[in-house]
Amino acid sequence: MLGNLRLIARSFANITIAAERHHVHPIIRSICSLNQLPLGSPTLPISIKLPTTISKKITDEPNPCIPLRIPRPTISLPLADPLVDNDNEIQAARLIVIRRKKMKKHKLRKLRKRMKYVWAKVRQKREMRKEKAFQAELMGQVKEAEKFSPANYVQEKLNIVNMTILPNRWRGKRLPEFVIKDLIAKAQAKKQAKIETLERRKRFMASYKPE
Protein backbone atom coordinates (compact mmCIF):
# COMPACT_ATOMS: atom_id res chain seq x y z
CA MET A 1 0.00 0.00 0.00
CA LEU A 2 2.75 2.42 0.91
CA GLY A 3 4.59 1.54 -2.30
CA ASN A 4 1.58 2.43 -4.41
CA LEU A 5 1.15 5.78 -2.62
CA ARG A 6 4.80 6.59 -3.28
CA LEU A 7 4.42 5.83 -7.01
CA ILE A 8 1.37 8.10 -7.21
CA ALA A 9 3.18 10.94 -5.44
CA ARG A 10 6.18 10.64 -7.78
CA SER A 11 3.90 10.68 -10.84
CA PHE A 12 2.21 13.90 -9.64
CA ALA A 13 5.64 15.45 -8.99
CA ASN A 14 6.81 14.62 -12.51
CA ILE A 15 3.62 16.13 -13.95
CA THR A 16 4.20 19.38 -12.02
CA ILE A 17 7.79 19.64 -13.28
CA ALA A 18 6.64 19.08 -16.86
CA ALA A 19 3.88 21.68 -16.44
CA GLU A 20 6.39 24.26 -15.26
CA ARG A 21 8.85 23.58 -18.10
CA HIS A 22 6.47 23.04 -21.06
CA HIS A 23 3.07 24.22 -22.23
CA VAL A 24 0.50 21.63 -21.10
CA HIS A 25 -3.27 21.55 -20.89
CA PRO A 26 -4.85 23.92 -18.30
CA ILE A 27 -6.69 21.02 -16.58
CA ILE A 28 -3.39 19.26 -15.90
CA ARG A 29 -1.99 22.52 -14.59
CA SER A 30 -4.89 22.86 -12.17
CA ILE A 31 -4.34 19.30 -10.97
CA CYS A 32 -0.66 20.04 -10.45
CA SER A 33 -1.54 23.17 -8.45
CA LEU A 34 -3.87 21.10 -6.28
CA ASN A 35 -1.07 18.64 -5.75
CA GLN A 36 1.16 21.38 -4.44
CA LEU A 37 -1.40 22.60 -1.85
CA PRO A 38 -1.03 21.34 1.72
CA LEU A 39 -3.12 18.41 2.90
CA GLY A 40 -6.53 19.18 4.30
CA SER A 41 -9.92 20.36 3.11
CA PRO A 42 -9.57 22.49 -0.02
CA THR A 43 -10.81 26.07 0.19
CA LEU A 44 -13.19 27.47 -2.33
CA PRO A 45 -12.82 29.15 -4.69
CA ILE A 46 -9.64 27.37 -5.82
CA SER A 47 -7.03 29.78 -7.14
CA ILE A 48 -4.86 28.42 -9.89
CA LYS A 49 -1.52 30.23 -10.45
CA LEU A 50 0.04 29.81 -13.84
CA PRO A 51 3.82 29.96 -14.08
CA THR A 52 5.18 33.05 -15.70
CA THR A 53 7.33 32.58 -18.78
CA ILE A 54 10.91 33.67 -18.42
CA SER A 55 12.18 35.75 -21.32
CA LYS A 56 15.57 34.64 -22.39
CA LYS A 57 17.51 37.37 -24.18
CA ILE A 58 20.88 36.85 -25.81
CA THR A 59 23.24 39.64 -24.80
CA ASP A 60 26.41 40.40 -26.70
CA GLU A 61 28.14 41.82 -23.65
CA PRO A 62 30.85 39.49 -22.34
CA ASN A 63 30.94 38.37 -18.78
CA PRO A 64 33.01 40.64 -16.57
CA CYS A 65 36.52 39.23 -16.08
CA ILE A 66 38.01 39.80 -12.69
CA PRO A 67 41.78 40.33 -13.10
CA LEU A 68 44.02 38.34 -10.81
CA ARG A 69 46.45 40.38 -8.85
CA ILE A 70 49.61 38.55 -7.85
CA PRO A 71 51.13 40.17 -4.79
CA ARG A 72 54.73 41.20 -5.23
CA PRO A 73 57.28 39.96 -2.72
CA THR A 74 58.11 42.53 -0.14
CA ILE A 75 61.60 41.04 0.47
CA SER A 76 64.17 42.27 -2.07
CA LEU A 77 66.54 39.46 -3.03
CA PRO A 78 70.09 40.45 -4.04
CA LEU A 79 71.08 39.68 -7.64
CA ALA A 80 74.23 37.55 -7.72
CA ASP A 81 76.59 37.51 -10.66
CA PRO A 82 76.74 33.97 -12.11
CA LEU A 83 80.29 34.53 -13.42
CA VAL A 84 81.64 35.17 -9.92
CA ASP A 85 82.72 32.12 -7.95
CA ASN A 86 80.12 31.15 -5.38
CA ASP A 87 81.07 28.87 -2.51
CA ASN A 88 77.51 27.64 -1.95
CA GLU A 89 76.85 26.49 -5.52
CA ILE A 90 77.09 22.86 -6.53
CA GLN A 91 78.77 22.10 -9.86
CA ALA A 92 79.25 18.90 -11.79
CA ALA A 93 82.59 19.95 -13.27
CA ARG A 94 84.51 17.31 -11.34
CA LEU A 95 82.12 14.59 -12.50
CA ILE A 96 82.63 15.70 -16.10
CA VAL A 97 86.42 15.54 -15.65
CA ILE A 98 86.20 12.04 -14.17
CA ARG A 99 83.91 10.90 -17.01
CA ARG A 100 86.27 12.27 -19.66
CA LYS A 101 89.22 10.58 -17.96
CA LYS A 102 87.40 7.24 -17.94
CA MET A 103 86.36 7.62 -21.57
CA LYS A 104 89.92 8.44 -22.62
CA LYS A 105 91.20 5.36 -20.80
CA HIS A 106 88.51 3.20 -22.41
CA LYS A 107 89.25 4.54 -25.89
CA LEU A 108 93.01 4.07 -25.38
CA ARG A 109 92.44 0.46 -24.34
CA LYS A 110 90.32 -0.16 -27.44
CA LEU A 111 92.91 1.54 -29.68
CA ARG A 112 95.75 -0.57 -28.26
CA LYS A 113 93.72 -3.73 -28.74
CA ARG A 114 92.87 -2.78 -32.33
CA MET A 115 96.36 -1.60 -33.33
CA LYS A 116 98.38 -4.23 -31.46
CA TYR A 117 99.83 -6.05 -34.47
CA VAL A 118 100.16 -2.93 -36.62
CA TRP A 119 102.27 -1.19 -33.98
CA ALA A 120 104.29 -4.38 -33.44
CA LYS A 121 105.20 -4.38 -37.14
CA VAL A 122 106.19 -0.71 -36.96
CA ARG A 123 108.42 -1.40 -33.92
CA GLN A 124 110.04 -4.33 -35.71
CA LYS A 125 110.90 -2.19 -38.75
CA ARG A 126 112.29 0.54 -36.50
CA GLU A 127 114.53 -1.95 -34.67
CA MET A 128 115.75 -3.35 -38.00
CA ARG A 129 116.73 0.14 -39.22
CA LYS A 130 118.61 0.79 -35.98
CA GLU A 131 120.42 -2.55 -36.26
CA LYS A 132 121.47 -1.85 -39.87
CA ALA A 133 122.80 1.59 -38.93
CA PHE A 134 124.78 0.06 -36.03
CA GLN A 135 126.29 -2.63 -38.28
CA ALA A 136 127.28 0.01 -40.86
CA GLU A 137 128.99 2.07 -38.14
CA LEU A 138 130.92 -0.99 -36.93
CA MET A 139 132.11 -1.77 -40.47
CA GLY A 140 133.31 1.82 -40.87
CA GLN A 141 135.29 1.56 -37.65
CA VAL A 142 136.88 -1.71 -38.82
CA LYS A 143 137.94 -0.16 -42.15
CA GLU A 144 139.41 2.85 -40.37
CA ALA A 145 141.37 0.56 -38.03
CA GLU A 146 142.81 -1.32 -41.00
CA LYS A 147 144.11 1.97 -42.46
CA PHE A 148 145.90 2.89 -39.20
CA SER A 149 149.72 3.32 -39.36
CA PRO A 150 151.62 3.54 -36.04
CA ALA A 151 154.69 5.28 -37.56
CA ASN A 152 152.63 8.05 -39.11
CA TYR A 153 150.72 8.48 -35.87
CA VAL A 154 153.94 8.91 -33.83
CA GLN A 155 155.38 11.36 -36.37
CA GLU A 156 152.23 13.51 -36.27
CA LYS A 157 152.41 13.66 -32.48
CA LEU A 158 156.09 14.65 -32.56
CA ASN A 159 155.37 17.39 -35.08
CA ILE A 160 152.70 18.78 -32.78
CA VAL A 161 155.12 18.77 -29.83
CA ASN A 162 157.96 20.45 -31.78
CA MET A 163 155.71 23.02 -33.38
CA THR A 164 156.35 26.57 -32.21
CA ILE A 165 153.29 28.46 -31.15
CA LEU A 166 153.24 31.99 -32.51
CA PRO A 167 152.02 34.69 -30.15
CA ASN A 168 149.16 36.95 -31.17
CA ARG A 169 150.99 40.09 -30.05
CA TRP A 170 154.54 41.43 -30.30
CA ARG A 171 155.56 43.86 -27.58
CA GLY A 172 151.93 44.73 -26.84
CA LYS A 173 150.90 45.24 -30.46
CA ARG A 174 148.61 43.00 -32.50
CA LEU A 175 150.42 42.22 -35.78
CA PRO A 176 149.87 39.82 -38.70
CA GLU A 177 151.30 36.32 -38.51
CA PHE A 178 153.99 36.74 -41.19
CA VAL A 179 155.30 39.95 -39.53
CA ILE A 180 155.55 38.17 -36.18
CA LYS A 181 157.50 35.34 -37.86
CA ASP A 182 160.03 37.82 -39.33
CA LEU A 183 160.48 39.58 -36.00
CA ILE A 184 161.01 36.25 -34.21
CA ALA A 185 163.60 35.21 -36.81
CA LYS A 186 165.46 38.54 -36.42
CA ALA A 187 165.41 38.19 -32.63
CA GLN A 188 166.81 34.66 -32.82
CA ALA A 189 169.56 35.79 -35.26
CA LYS A 190 170.49 38.68 -32.98
CA LYS A 191 170.64 36.35 -30.00
CA GLN A 192 172.80 33.87 -31.91
CA ALA A 193 175.18 36.66 -32.95
CA LYS A 194 175.50 37.77 -29.36
CA ILE A 195 176.30 34.23 -28.24
CA GLU A 196 179.00 33.91 -30.94
CA THR A 197 180.53 37.23 -29.88
CA LEU A 198 180.78 36.04 -26.29
CA GLU A 199 182.43 32.78 -27.35
CA ARG A 200 185.07 34.60 -29.46
CA ARG A 201 185.87 36.85 -26.54
CA LYS A 202 186.32 33.85 -24.27
CA ARG A 203 188.70 32.19 -26.73
CA PHE A 204 190.67 35.39 -27.11
CA MET A 205 191.00 35.82 -23.40
CA ALA A 206 192.08 32.20 -23.01
CA SER A 207 194.81 32.59 -25.67
CA TYR A 208 196.07 35.92 -24.30
CA LYS A 209 199.28 35.60 -22.23
CA PRO A 210 200.65 38.68 -20.52
CA GLU A 211 204.45 39.32 -20.82
pLDDT in tens, 55-82: 555 555 556 566 666 666 666 666 666 6
Q: What is the tens place of the pLDDT at every residue in 82-96? A: 666 556 666 778 889
pLDDT computed for residue 11 by the predictor: 64
Q: What is the tens place of the pLDDT at every residue in 126-180? A: 999 999 999 999 999 999 999 999 999 999 999 988 877 778 888 888 888 888 8
Is 114 part of any domain?
A: yes
> In b/e form, how buried is each residue of 44-83, taking b as 16+ CB within 10 angstroms?
eeeeeeeeeeeeeeeeeeeeeeeeeeeeeeeeeeeeeeee
Looking at the 3D structure of the chain, how many domains does it have?
2
Q: Whole-prediction pTM value? A: 0.32
Let me know whether 149 and 196 are in one domain: no
Is 27 part of any domain?
A: no
Let me know whether 140 and 182 are in one domain: no
Let me know whether 98 and 141 are in one domain: yes
116: containing domain: 92-161
Is 176 part of any domain?
A: yes
Is 180 part of any domain?
A: yes
pLDDT computed for residue 181 by the predictor: 86
pLDDT computed for residue 160 by the predictor: 86
Is 56 in a helix, a strand, or coil? coil
Are 47 and 34 in contact by the 8 Å Cβ rule? The answer is no
pLDDT computed for residue 26 by the predictor: 52
Torsion of CA 130, 133, 139, 144, to 10 degrees: -130
Let me know whether 149 and 98 are in one domain: yes
Of the CA atoms within 13 Å of residue 193, those in its CB half-sphere come to: 6
Let me know whether 120 and 154 are in one domain: yes
Is 177 part of any domain?
A: yes
pLDDT computed for residue 38 by the predictor: 46
pLDDT computed for residue 121 by the predictor: 97
Q: What is the tens place of the pLDDT at every residue in 180-209? A: 888 888 999 999 999 999 998 888 888 876
